[in-house]
A and B are shown apart, each in its own frame.
Chain A
Amino acid sequence: MVDNNRWGNFFAHLVLIVGVAIVVFPVYVAIIASTHPPGTFVRGVMPLLPGPNAWENYRTVITEGRSRAGTPPIGGMMWNSFIMAMSITIGKLSISIISAFAIVYFRFPGRIFFFWIIFLTLMLPVEVRIVPTFQVVADFGMLNSFAGLSIPLIASATATFLFRQFFMTVPEELMEAARVDGAGPMKFFKDILLPLSITNIAALFVIMFIYGWNQYLWPLLITTDPEYYTIVMGIQRMVTGGDSEPLWHLVMATVVLAALPPVLVILFMQRLFVKGLTETEK
């Protein structure tokens, strides 16, 4: 081996440990800040060691929220985020897998045309066309609803491509055998293609869930009713909703809770996450 150099390895570990410490630092600070009473933030520098108020702070944000700034309790916002993330994920996966199936396993007039229509969505992120998209959603009366939060974000060129790539690698013989046995297209899809795609579905699920949970601009526009606030946008209301300094101990408790679900998903499904990430972006 070329790389057997004791000092080199020591140096590499040192760089990585310092690097990891820097990467983890912002979250460490947030966790620490969420355990302190409000008084800590009035004087001097932010604390770097845990305080005594963790239970109190988390109870406050979960059950009461911050009514003065118009933020509802966190529990409700977490639930909204969860519903939104799940609807986006399941919606994206299901419409993408069936359109990929249509494109790969059928030959029909307009196939290329439809493929390009789906492809175009890749070029039109919601951020660049917010005003007209908002108008469309408003015209449909979908403001302040879960439908408005999720349906416009459901179309997905990347998921369709990934499924198409995967279907192209499925052996031809499987389909021939299914046809010889008299299976129709939907039976083939349900009994053969779907079970084969499970790993791909799971990998995409992880990516899409994080994407859905972290939506910010869209819920900010679509929801005016605190009933439908999601947690990621709720934090913005907490930091700017008032003239004084934000109540840091409560803001940071909320930040920790908002970050927890997607972080857990990544940590527990790291292999799927890496697979999903590296394959969707090709």
Chain B
Amino acid sequence: MQTKRMTFSSKWLPYALLAPQVIITLIFFIWPSFQALRQSVYRQGDAFGIRPPTFVWFENFQALFRDDLYLNSLKTTFIFSVGTTILSMGVALLFAVMVNRMIRSRDTYTTFLVWPYAIAPAIAGVLWWFIFNPTLGILPYILDMVGYDWNHRRNGNDAMIMVIIASAWRQISYNFLFFLAGLQSIPQSLIEAAAIDGAKRMKRFWTIVFPLLSPITFFLMVVNIVYAMFDTFGVIHATTEGGPSQATTILVYKVYRDGFVNLNFGSSAAQSVILMGIVIVLTVIQFRYIERRVNY
């Protein structure tokens, strides 16, 4: 790793400068993660200290993968993340392509499209929860007219659709900004050359623009999956609370509930460890992408 050619020399100063960051990292990141690892291989003792915690190897993990609720939550998380990612990226790409055509109105549209990013996931959840409210929401009212009886309190699919829309809504801004930046960096000459060769608009988009956007698309995919898996806790917790009957219990919500509500620390710790594994894989993928982008 590089430094400057010429550096300052001091025996203690660099350590003093790094100290605050490193101490906070050790206390609040490394140590708790180590604790999670440790708790994940123990069965917890009882509350009165009669039965001490016992070392059980991988029993907590085995129990998880035998547990239908956990397997179901894995499936729910998968559907939720893929749904959120596709919806928000698709809509954002459409907006970015349209805004990129504009010259005078580009900044106005951009302003209207970026601010949802400022809204906290929990608030985004509450907003859509209100719109989808079965008794007074506007969307169930419209759906009722076409004969669909919307009720996210009873119907798991309805609840899933609602949390996906709420989570995707907020993320559109983010994806939009990256797609727009990507589109603006594509040389106009390439598109004009294709037009001279007689390629129609749709063909130009799918054969030139979209392939050139693929690095950004890939990057956004990873970022969106990370967002859907970890940052959407607020959407779920403030609205459906994982229900109805577990239909929206994503992994992060389950870790929270098993740890803080059901007080099952062993299982919660094992789930934490699995989630850490997932984040590490996603982060590594993301960084490999960055290296590639820097190199070409």
Contact = CB atoms under 8 A, between A and B. Distances in A.
A16 B98 contact: yes
Interface in B198-214: 201, 204
A186 B16 CA distance: 12
By DSSP majority rule, is chain A's interface helix, strand, loop, or mixed? helix
Given A20-B109, A120-B29, A259-B123, A266 B117 contact: yes
A39 B252 CA distance: 38
Given A2-B192, A124-B276, A172-B4, A117 B25 contact: yes
Interface in B1-38: 1-10, 13-15, 17-18, 20-22, 24-33, 35-36
Contacts of A98: 17-18, 20-21
A59 interface: no
A132 B178 contact: no
Given A130-B256, A266-B117, A155 B130 contact: no
A216 B259 contact: no
A252 to B, nearest CB: 7
Contacts of B50: none
Given A19-B94, A23-B169, A27-B127, A105 B118 contact: no
The residue in B15, B101, B255, B293 that gathers the most chain A C-beta atoms within 10 A of its C-beta is: B101
A199 interface: no
Given A95-B20, A175-B4, A45 B141 contact: yes
Contact of B32 (A2, A123, A135, A266): A135
Contacts of B21: 95-96, 98-99, 118, 155, 160
A68 interface: no
A132 B39 contact: yes
Interface string A247-266: 01001100100110011011
By DSSP majority rule, is chain B's interface helix, strand, loop, or mixed? helix
A225 interface: no
The residue in A12, A94, A132, A251 that gathers the most chain B C-beta atoms within 10 A of its C-beta is: A132
B22 A236 contact: no
B52 interface: no
A270 interface: yes
B233 A217 contact: yes
A221 B255 CA distance: 13
Interface of A: 2-3, 8-9, 12-13, 15-16, 19-20, 23-27, 29-30, 33, 41, 44-46, 48, 94-96, 98-99, 101-108, 111-112, 114-115, 117-118, 120-125, 127-137, 151-152, 154-155, 160, 168, 172, 175-176, 179, 184-186, 188, 210, 213-214, 216-217, 220-221, 232-233, 235-236, 239-240, 245, 248, 251-252, 255, 258-259, 262-263, 265-267, 270, 273-274, 277-278, 281-282
Given A104-B4, A129-B36, A282-B290, 8 more contacts: A46-B136, A101-B17, A106-B13, A137-B28, A216-B120, A216-B234, A236-B126, A277-B117
Interface of B: 1-10, 13-15, 17-18, 20-22, 24-33, 35-36, 39, 91, 94-95, 98-99, 101-102, 105, 109-124, 126-131, 133, 135-138, 141, 169, 172, 174, 177-178, 181, 188, 191-192, 195, 201, 204, 223, 230-231, 233-234, 237-239, 241, 252, 255-256, 259-260, 265, 268-269, 272, 275-276, 279-280, 283, 290, 293
